[in-house]
Structure 1
Amino acid sequence: MNMRTIIVGEKVEAVSPKSAAPLFVLYDDLDAEASKAWLVDRMLGAGELSAFYGPPGCGKGVIIEDMALHIAAGCDWHGRAVARGSVVYIALERKRLVERRAIAFRNKHGLRNVPFAIVGGVYDFRDVTTAAQIAEICREVEHKTGQAVVLIVIDTVSRALAGGDENSPKDMGALVTVTAKLQEDTQAHILLVHHIPHDSDRLRGHGALLGAVDTTIAVANGGAARSARVVKANDSEEGEGISFTIDSVEISQDGTTAAVAVPADAPPPPTSVGPRLSANAKTMLAILQEAGRDGLLTEEWNARSRDAGIGARRRADLTDARSILKRAGLVREYADRWRSQA
């Protein structure tokens, strides 16, 4: 075994290298040619954590399962390349519905031998032992399919908390910790399905989840077409997205049908005079416009907005106004710097 020496104080000691994986990487060992690996090109990074969210009836369950099945089948999704692999869909609610949608997908596309596994039951994602349980299921799926698990869908955050409080930093923080452990154990991308408050378009619950995810994707029903758009991206462009409609496919001789997603052209821009903005959103937009081409970092924008009286009593007012501006296409964010698009 090769030996190396280190200097401790005035003594030189011999140290034998360990065979275990290193716990760190040194600056000089970083790969100068490192590039981001994508699960879905320009939308979801491989091995990352994401959250899809939207109001009831927006079609998020349909489009998430459609994307997951395309990944498992190794088929481009809305013209975007995917990294093929096994998918584990943890249906903590409506497992039978998830099964029916998969059958509809199979009937529509005629695909077989797709490594897509649906898991039902009750799991408490505040309990760290849950990560080990799900990781073991993933290993069984890999053994059965011969393909590594690249995506784990957890549907939904509310059920994953198993009675916990979405607004509690303790409960939401525990969920974040367990999903991080699951990422570490499986190296798979973890996708969380979540909801929004009835009076806002942001992620519901404590901000610990928003802070932890690499990407958030908002699903919306625009009438003629539905959309799934990147709202937050830690190290990629925001605003990327796809448009789709929903069709029904018969899956049984008794006439039972299930929904499938169908790619659609992006809807034309609205012809109205402009989006309706809240007073807070108008003020925050004016602040950002005053900053000029360089824009503002998030905390800089927050600080100037607080000086204008926004968020002093309710911190979520800052997030809500920012979300309104992003959805209206009036602001863009990259690497934590915001710029006006108006």
Structure 2
Amino acid sequence: MPYTLTPISLLTAKQPKNTWLIKDIVEQATTGMLFGSPASGKSFIAMEMAFCIAIGHDFADRPVCQGQVVYLAGEGFNGLTKRFKALEEKYQTQTSDVFISNMPAALICEKSKVEVLEEINNICPNPSLIIVDTLHRNFGGGDENSAKDVGKLMEVITAIINDTNAAVLLVHHSGHSSGDRARGSSALKAALDVEYKISKKGDVVTMKNTKVKDFDEPKPISFNLVPQPISGWLDDAGKPVKSAILELYNDTVPKGKVFLNKRESSILNALEALIDDKGISLPQSAIKANPMLSGKRYIHVDDWRTEVYQLLDADKLDQQAKQKAFKRAREKLEKEKQVIVTAELYCLS
């Protein structure tokens, strides 16, 4: 990009607009950071963002700009594979638009920087997001406590943004003496466009904004960290492999009320609409055996399944993914007593 000077009147002639990568959270072509203590959930959030952007799915109910993602991984490659597989299970889809490095980068090293950019340009020439997880493992031979070395790092990141037009998201550790700031030189925070502190209490992971330049400070977002079995994967002892996923946490949900995600709510709403449209009554023999079922209208599971599959067409799922999504939602609705099933006929509880 050449160096230019522009009259301010040309800039003020048109109202600038935010170019969101994730609405109200991070903009395109900016530098952001997630920081927190070990095991706080920061990588879970980074991977959730990556997967949602790659498949074009809302992140924490915020719209995303769909695009490809480069993930510069510094450690835990086997763990990353399991976590991304768990995200495939959660969203019932796969993607080829997240690209993970096979080793850490050394970003302040000129040779490494050139190699990284060449690989990005060869494999993923138009990324929307580049995640650096963790900053420490991808920093190179410099000192993160040195303002001079952090300055070199930010020059590299600026060059990457200018070259790719992607947002860069750093995943970093909190300070040794204070968990309220990222580790290293204060020059790092000064150079950021947006920053979030990630903390974990019990199974609740919270993302709290600690710096923002060009938009209103977003409210904290919390997630439940929940186990996620991985279908078809077994460990050495033959037991099912599990990972974990994030589910949006809503502390305003009254105690005892069931929380359904967006897809589960849509599937339940489809059943309700079918019952209103063409629900049938149970045979008298069934009602005689269980009088509590009297007065309700029912839909056969095949009709419900057909309607749900049509809904899932919007998510571009293949047949197997549709089957899994419907089965998982149906089982949860049964378990949480949102629906009643009798001889493959379903009604609302």
* Residue type at the aligned position of 1:244: F
Cα pair 2:24 2:218 within 8 Å, conserved: no
Aligned residue in 2 for 1:253 = 234
* Residue type at the aligned position of 2:187: A
* Residue type at the aligned position of 1:181: A
Alpha-carbon shift at residue 264 of structure 1 (Å):
1.0
- Identity between Structure 1 and Structure 2 (%): 29
More helix by share: 2
Say yes or no: does 1:230 pair with 2:209.
yes
After superposition, the Cα gap between the structure-2 partners of 1:125 and 1:224, relative to the gap in structure 1 and judged at 3 Å, is closer
TM-score normalised by L of structure 2: 0.66
* Residue type at the aligned position of 2:157: T
Say yes or no: does 1:219 pair with 2:198.
yes
Aligned residue in 2 for 1:205 = 184
> Counterparts of 1:1-342 in structure 2 under 5 Å?
23-30=4-11, 32-142=14-124, 148-200=126-178, 201-223=180-202, 225-251=204-230, 252-254=233-235, 255-266=240-251
* Residue type at the aligned position of 1:102: F
- The one-character-per-residue Cα deviations of 1:30-55 (angstroms, maximum 9, x if unpaired) are 25132111111111011100010011
After superposition, the Cα gap between the structure-2 partners of 1:99 and 1:26, relative to the gap in structure 1 and judged at 3 Å, is farther
* Residue type at the aligned position of 2:221: I
Cα pair 1:246 1:261 within 8 Å, conserved: yes
* Residue type at the aligned position of 1:218: K
Alpha-carbon shift at residue 111 of structure 1 (Å):
0.8
Q: Hey, what's the Cα distance between the residues in 2 that align with 1:224 and 1:256? A: 20
* Residue type at the aligned position of 2:171: V
Alpha-carbon shift at residue 108 of structure 1 (Å):
2.2
> What is the DSSP-based 3-state SS (H/G/I as helix, E as strand, rest coil) of the residue aligned with 1:250?
strand
Cα pair 2:54 2:95 within 8 Å, conserved: no
Q: Mind listing any 5+ residue stretches in structure 1 that lack a counterpart? A: 1-19, 269-342
> What is the DSSP-based 3-state SS (H/G/I as helix, E as strand, rest coil) of the residue aligned with 1:228?
strand
Q: Hey, what's the Cα distance between the residues in 2 that align with 1:192 and 1:169? A: 17
Deviating more after overlay: 177-186 vs 91-100: 91-100
Q: Mind listing any 5+ residue stretches in structure 2 that lack a counterpart? A: 254-349
Q: Hey, what's the Cα distance between the residues in 2 that align with 1:60 and 1:212? A: 20
Cα pair 2:106 2:113 within 8 Å, conserved: no
Structure exhibiting the larger radius of gyration computed from Cα positions = 2
* Residue type at the aligned position of 2:195: T
For this pair of structures, how many residues does the alignment match?
245
After superposition, the Cα gap between the structure-2 partners of 1:26 and 1:128, relative to the gap in structure 1 and judged at 3 Å, is farther
* Residue type at the aligned position of 1:235: D
* Residue type at the aligned position of 1:212: A
Q: Hey, what's the Cα distance between the residues in 2 that align with 1:77 and 1:97? A: 22
